[in-house]
Structure 1
């Protein structure tokens, strides 16, 4: 996939860093000899200009080594300009395709940027000059991000993944045992043995490790065993050694667990440090979904909106409702039953336990940003305007069906990326692009 494609799905969160960055230092990032302070047109895409200020702003978000050569800085500037041209081509295509973003959606995205930074919208706007931005440029950036997000969503919605493709993907990535492509997390109990230990002490340590291994295989809590018996530094953390590629574990450990499954116990293993008992916590190909998934129990209040005016009215109404909920004047359950226009109203807005990908991106992004007990600001989606409350979260093992669904989503995203890359190549080949030199 062409990494320059601006197909990010979390527009507000990405622009958060841009909006509240330290003051821009773009002139230092530009190639020497460039007119860094004056604004001028650096490229035209079908007659639409890309300004030097846009290029400087994008370059300012990239860390460049202080000792970078002029050639390296010039190459970076050209690469970033190429990204801006790609974005312009895609934005023009989105507009020609009839994709639109209304002001209410931009309002909601701006409010989300502010909320994630603990600011009001007014406070956010007051801080924008520190990043070389104005409210108008921030809103323009948000509009473009949302347009590109919706363009990508359209491509994803058209991607089709067959059951045979899922089967093939699982076969490919569940087979083999390449340690560089295996994500592995182990927990250990270490019974330390000094180098000068006597044969009797060595035998006692071996017996203790064997007893611990038997208890672990019988189903006893491994973390508790590690906290009680392990002499390794990570004992207080239940013996967890962290998720990493298998080749970053000692060869002794990888050879012992190569053919084991998550939940299995290996050992005792003898090393220079003593005797190790290992439990496999996670073992999967790096290109397979996580074996566990975080689910969110969530509820919402929905007001439907057919046009921009009704969206603004819904946002204002839900903002007032949110203030009443947060201040304790009413409960989320009662407000949902009273005003929500979704079928979930009769259940107090409850949507049950949700897994990633269940909701549209704009809803899911807002939901994921909330801690349990928090209520969102009004969120605009294609269905209307929502208030969202996260009730709790839990981590559960994926069922075989959920694993297949996760692979289906992964393959659909890949197909969408490939389709969008191909569309970009087509659109760019038809575009009139003129690169202009900096004025002397």
Structure 2
């Protein structure tokens, strides 16, 4: 199985006039020779803020949200590169069907959904391209899982028999907050991460909405969705 060599460079380049020309954009990261610009980051942050407002969740402070969205853009860029290198493509018919399903899931016609997006300041074409990219990344993840996981017919039969014999079990609606540490983190970095985790715990125990705490502190990709993991049975709870 091929592995993706990921090279990320984070750049801090101030906006400044050069020879009488005012720069209107700048590079904030380079992922395997592909750049992420500040305008891309600003657009992603704006979309995240609108999403949080629709969910009724207070947005974290701007620097926190920018950091979270930059990490997501870097990960998405790397996955898209790998998807393209793997030959994954989304044809127009599949994309059109996916767009229609999204509109229907929001109980709108496609025309109404498009007007709603544009009234919210979101370009329909840009959103449609984002759907294409999300589909590419989903297919990449499916392919990776298929390559790694092999389940025999016997294992399926054993699992089904176990499920029949198991009494009705409770399910739990889980959410989480991830505070990430790189390998070989310095003691200072570990201390800072611990402080963030303890602050998140204190706010959650203090009665703050968990979704807001997750949006403010979590490094997980699902932070803006409140860290939601969904419903899990007892045997699928994280250890």
TM-score, scaled relative to structure 1: 0.28
Work out which structure has the larger RCO, using CA pairs closer than 8 Å and 6 or more positions apart in sequence: 1
Greater strand share, structure number: 1
Q: Which structure's residues are more often helix, by fraction?
A: 2
> Which has more radius of gyration?
1
